[in-house]
């Protein structure tokens, strides 16, 4: 095993936030400052310019929300960034959870006026379970918001996370003048020119006592800056790289993504602070990114990224080795060898063919139904990467095509969406009806819209008496068969053919669990084959 400089320069990270915190805007500005795009799709732009690069689906562009994770790869300052933009809306949290299994760090975006919100808290807990290091970006400082000390105190108390500012704001809202870079002793001054704001080149300072601060800033602003920074240095621990990478401390950057301010410093922070690819946990052992053999796991399937070709792409997180186009890899679940002829790198919907890649990179593999979420690919070793879950749905409805003659089309469509992880789809054993299960109501609307738009298949939903669904597992196949035969009316299978119990109510589920102790009724299903 030899340490690779290519692995060391990878930064694979996700952006997490509550809806409307500015996550998608920040994603665009990181791409802009990173040189990946030439024009930012600002919210107020018109026509094609209005469409955010990460929100490429038609339904996302129409509704102005992110409903699926996007992958964007670009190079900046000798680093290769794999940026994963996640859905902010809680109804799509499962896609976000799976995406977070594929990253080595995260950027948490917080609205300066609102502080920590519900979805931010949930996503942070997912990161904590995996010890994912987090950089915090306090956004919208050009608007009236909460005191910086108040936001930091909230992060420290509610998330049980040490905080240390990397930059410090000078004013807020109409009085926001810029920031002081505490790590580099630089003044980051934002000029206001009519309706446009722009960041001036960072100005090196000889500490906060530097007299040029008095020349450039109003008297009250520089006095407040010096006083607040002195308090910060007394109250907050100094930045510690090991503590950050262990997930115990978050460096905080302040700025305004919409106005391009603070984004350059955040990007520099990712270069200097964020970890290169980390070890990945498999059932058999831990996999080091510098190992010679190529390994990876599928964390996402996306259908119809190219509507003209009805394609399906499997997103593969490389965990180790030097990947080369044309390599033969073992598909561990099936035991088959696959020739990887046309791997893709992404800028959201746009793609380039990948001739090579390294641990930490995200590859798109054209998929004709043979790859599933949780699958492992290796150069021969039988590994099963863990912690890639599916969750039992909380809301269930029957789905039918408006045209009854297109039932077969609906079946193919739902199986594809099930493989993609967009929803849970179940086919009942007795009536052969299709039931869609989701975590949030908005998913029903988005799925119906996608089925109509992408598959030209109008559908409608109907109510169902089903309360919840549970996957069934048992070491005793005879007992499992006996349960199946005794509860035929409540049995179904998912898109993989796995047995599912559809409970009418809480009592129905509790009774089954009590009477059949040999059977496991799973609310969360691991996406690998033991």
- CA-CA distance, 251 to 162, in Å (whole number)? 9
15-52+106-272: what fold? Rossmann fold (3.40.50)
Q: Is 483 exposed, middle or buried (0-12, 13-18, 19+ CB in 10 A)?
A: buried
Tell me what pLDDT residue 311 has: 67
Helix (H, G, I), strand (E, B) or coil at 54: coil
HSE toward the beta carbon, residue 65, CA cutoff 13 A: 15
- What is the CA 38 to chain-centroid distance, rounded? 24
Tell me what pLDDT residue 303 has: 67
Q: Where are the domains of the chain?
A: 15-52+106-272, 280-378, 389-526
Give the helix, strand, coil percentages of the chain, each rounded to 5. Answer: 30, 30, 40
Pairing of strands 328-331, 336-339: antiparallel
Rounded alpha-carbon distances, angstroms, from residue 84 to 106, 199, 260, 527: 9, 26, 20, 20
CA dihedral angle for residue 49, residue 53, residue 55, residue 61, rounded to 10 degrees = 10
Pairing of strands 10-17, 105-111: parallel
Q: Name the one residue in this structure whose structure tokens are 């796995």.
A: 498
- Which overall architecture, per CATH, does domain 389-526 show? 2-Layer Sandwich (3.30)
Structure tokens at 495: 């898109």
- CA-CA distance, 216 to 203, in Å (whole number)? 11
Tell me what pLDDT residue 201 has: 66
Pairing of strands 186-193, 196-199: antiparallel
Q: Is 198 exposed, middle or buried (0-12, 13-18, 19+ CB in 10 A)?
A: exposed
Helix (H, G, I), strand (E, B) or coil at 364: strand
CA dihedral angle for residue 369, residue 370, residue 376, residue 381, rounded to 10 degrees = -170
HSE toward the beta carbon, residue 167, CA cutoff 13 A: 32
**CA atoms 96, 98, 100, 102: torsion sign:** negative
Instruction: Please tell me what DSSP assigns to residue 274.
Output: S
Nearest by Cα to 258 from 175, 172, 140, 138: 140
Tell me what pLDDT residue 44 has: 32
Q: Is 473 exposed, middle or buried (0-12, 13-18, 19+ CB in 10 A)?
A: middle
Per-residue pLDDT of the chain (530 residues), as tens digits, is 666 899 999 999 999 888 888 888 898 888 888 877 655 443 333 333 334 444 444 544 555 444 455 788 888 889 999 998 776 545 445 677 778 889 999 999 999 999 988 777 877 877 887 789 999 999 999 999 899 999 999 999 999 999 999 999 999 998 899 999 999 888 888 766 543 444 456 788 888 888 988 888 899 999 999 999 999 999 999 999 999 999 999 999 999 998 889 999 999 999 999 999 999 988 889 999 999 999 999 988 876 555 555 567 889 999 999 999 999 999 998 899 999 988 988 764 567 888 999 999 999 998 777 888 888 999 989 998 887 767 778 789 999 999 988 988 998 888 888 877 777 889 998 888 899 888 778 778 888 888 888 888 999 999 898 989 999 999 998 999 999 999 999 999 988 888 999 999 999 999 999 999 999 998 877 654 33
Residues 280-378: name the CATH superfamily: P-loop containing nucleotide triphosphate hydrolases (3.40.50.300)
DSSP structure string for 411-431: HHHHHHHHHHTSSEEEEETTT
Tell me what pLDDT residue 310 has: 59
**Count of CB atoms situated within 10 Å of the CB of 419:** 20
Instruction: Please tell me what DSSP assigns to residue 88.
Output: -
In terms of DSSP H, where are the helices of 9-65? 23-33, 58-63
**Topology agreement, domain 15-52+106-272 and domain 280-378:** yes
Tell me what pLDDT residue 223 has: 93
**Count of CB atoms situated within 10 Å of the CB of 240:** 14
């Amino acid at each position: 095993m030899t340490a690779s400089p290519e692995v060391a320069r990878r930064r694979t990270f996700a952006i997490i936030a509550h809806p409307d915190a500015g996550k998608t805007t920040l994603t665009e500005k990181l791409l802009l400052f990173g040189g990946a795009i030439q024009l930012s799709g600002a919210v107020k732009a018109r026509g094609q310019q209005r469409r955010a690069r990460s929100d490429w689906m038609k339904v996302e562009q129409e509704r102005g929300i992110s409903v699926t994770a996007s992958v964007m790869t670009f190079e900046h300052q000798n680093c290769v960034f794999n940026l994963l933009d996640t859905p902010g809306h809680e109804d799509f949290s499962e896609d976000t959870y799976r995406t977070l299994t594929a990253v080595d760090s995260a950027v948490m975006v917080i609205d300066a006026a609102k502080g920590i919100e519900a979805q931010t808290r949930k996503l942070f807990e997912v990161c904590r379970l995996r010890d994912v290091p987090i950089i915090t970006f306090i956004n919208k400082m050009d608007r009236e918001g909460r005191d910086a000390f108040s936001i930091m105190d909230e992060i420290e108390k509610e998330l049980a996370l040490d905080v240390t500012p990397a930059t410090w704001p000078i004013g807020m809202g109409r009085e926001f003048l810029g920031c002081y870079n505490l790590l580099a002793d630089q003044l980051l001054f934002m000029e206001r020119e009519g309706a446009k704001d722009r960041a001036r080149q960072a100005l090196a300072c000889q500490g906060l006592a530097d007299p040029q601060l008095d020349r450039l800033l109003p008297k009250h602003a520089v006095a407040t800056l010096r006083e607040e920074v002195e308090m910060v240095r007394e109250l907050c621990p100094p930045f510690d790289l090991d503590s950050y990478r262990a997930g115990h401390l978050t460096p905080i950057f302040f700025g305004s993504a919409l106005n391009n301010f603070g984004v350059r410093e955040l990007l520099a922070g990712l270069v200097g602070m964020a970890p290169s690819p980390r070890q990945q946990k498999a059932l058999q052992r831990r996999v080091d990114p510098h190992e010679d053999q190529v390994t990876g796991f599928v964390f996402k399937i996306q259908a119809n990224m190219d509507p003209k070709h009805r394609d399906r792409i499997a997103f593969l997180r490389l965990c180790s080795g030097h990947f080369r186009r044309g390599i033969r890899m073992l598909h561990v679940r099936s035991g088959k060898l696959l020739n990887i002829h046309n791997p893709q790198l992404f800028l959201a919907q746009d793609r380039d063919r990948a001739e090579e890649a390294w641990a930490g990179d995200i590859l798109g593999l054209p998929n004709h139904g043979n790859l599933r979420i949780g699958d492992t690919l290796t150069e021969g070793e039988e590994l099963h990467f863990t912690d890639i879950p599916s969750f039992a749905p909380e809301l269930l409805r029957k789905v039918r095509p408006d045209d009854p003659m297109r039932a077969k089309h609906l079946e193919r469509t739902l199986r594809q969406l099930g493989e993609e992880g967009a929803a849970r789809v179940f086919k009942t054993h007795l009536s052969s009806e299709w039931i869609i299960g989701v975590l949030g109501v908005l998913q029903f609307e988005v799925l119906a819209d996608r089925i109509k738009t992408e598959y030209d298949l109008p559908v409608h939903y109907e109510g169902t008496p089903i309360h919840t669904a549970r996957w069934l597992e048992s070491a005793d196949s005879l007992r499992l068969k006996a349960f199946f035969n005794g509860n035929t009316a409540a049995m179904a299978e998912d898109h993989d053919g796995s047995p599912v119990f559809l409970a009418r109510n809480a009592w129905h589920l509790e009774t089954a669990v009590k009477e059949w102790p040999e059977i496991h009724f799973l609310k969360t299903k691991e996406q690998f084959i033991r």
